[in-house]
Amino acid sequence: MQSSITVQVSEAGAPSYNLLEAQVVNYNYQTGATNLTISGKLTSGKALTLRFTRSGTAAVYTTNLLSATLDGVAAAPATGTTTFSTQARTVDGTFQATFPVLGVLNGSFAGIALP
């Protein structure tokens, strides 16, 4: 997958910054099992994993469910969406996840190229 992507994050309302070591772990926008997984690290060094998936009600080439973990601890709640452009072969997305120790983490990304 890509070695470097840009994902903006904001911890508990603080100014946003680029997620460190952000990368696409895997993705599938070709079948009904649409998904995108992104990983990276917060400035604290904690590992963040975002797994976007599609429920049956979401439009084709989109995801509308998010499972997020921070150093293996699940966020509750976690919400997020992505949209894949079939012409440009890029994906855009937004997310919000609440972690017990951190609080609310907001983020977004745009134009991530998927081969």
What is the reported pLDDT for 3?
53
What is the reported pLDDT for 32?
74
Average pLDDT across each block of 10 residues of the chain; the chain has 115 residues. List them in order: 80 95 94 91 97 91 97 97 96 98 96 92
Q: How far is CA 70 from CA 34, 59, 73, in A?
A: 23, 28, 5
